[in-house]
Amino acid sequence: MSNAGLVHDEGRALVIDTMMFPEMAEGIAAELRRRGARADVVLNTHHHVDHVGGNAVFDGARLVAHPKSADAIAHPPPAAVYDSFIPAYAGRFESLDVVPPEPSLDGLDLPRDARLRSYAPAHTVADVAVWLPSSRVLFTGDLAFFGVAPLAFQGLVSSWVAALDDLLALDPAVVVPGHGPVGGTRELALVRDHLAALLAAARDDTPLLPDEVGEWLEADRIPVNLERARQEVRGEIGAADLSAIPANAGTLFH
């Protein structure tokens, strides 16, 4: 399951992603109530359903996303696509009504010193991270996966590597990934180097050398990610058009 986060200060809070179904986001809402805080701003870091499905829980908050993510959220694939990609929850997506976010990140009044960093494209058409410079805490959304292989089939690998270079330069003390346990710069660098290795293997037409990411969960994503890097090298996709899906992406659907 995906991670979500909250940053609160003086009774108001920023919620970072809402998980996949309202009952999952209820846990975040309960924690806010326990702290006597209300959700002031809810950010969808990117358009994937496991980060936006609980949006309905935060009625009354300003719900926002990068304009490109908001557009993708407004045009979801058929429920059958989710059923086959996430079979553990098959049958649930047909009735899931995702509340669409406002397509803007402008003019937000965020708690503490939270600031947003947008990367479009990266893991998807657009991804937003949340950075707290005073505590050096970084929420990456799906710009980072720890302990579970990243999923690159809709993104642009070279831009994702550049995004991770930018995030690594912040030298965060704590990194909350989109999936997996909390980590730090070591794990962030592992993901960065793995994605860079995919791109190098695609460019040089050489095999992908084994690395730590290859031992993580969901390693069957890696051949698909490699094909994504090859698509980029062949010029089949680019920042302006990411729509062509890797030929072997079907292996991820059940």
- Interface with Zn ion (CB under 5 A): 48, 142
Beta carbon nearer to Zn ion, 206 or 251: 251
Cβ at position 177, least distance to Zn ion in Å? 11
Buried b (16+ CB within 10 A) or exposed e, 9-30: eeebbbbbbbbbbbebbeebbe
Helix, strand, or coil here: 140?
strand
Beta carbon nearer to Zn ion, 54 or 111: 54
Cβ at position 35, least distance to Zn ion in Å? 27
Report which of 74, 82, 79, 80 is spatially closest to residue 55, judged by C-alpha positions.
74
Total residue count of the chain as it appears in this document: 254
CA dihedral 190, 193, 196, 198 (to 10 degrees): -60
Beta carbon nearer to Zn ion, 32 or 122: 122
Contact 23, 29 (CB under 8 A): no
Cβ at position 48, least distance to Zn ion in Å? 3
Contact 36, 6 (CB under 8 A): no
Peptide bond into 121 cis (omega under 30): yes
Beta carbon nearer to Zn ion, 40 or 142: 142
Cβ at position 45, least distance to Zn ion in Å? 8
Cβ at position 107, least distance to Zn ion in Å? 26
The amino acid at residue 211 is D
Beta carbon nearer to Zn ion, 2 or 158: 2
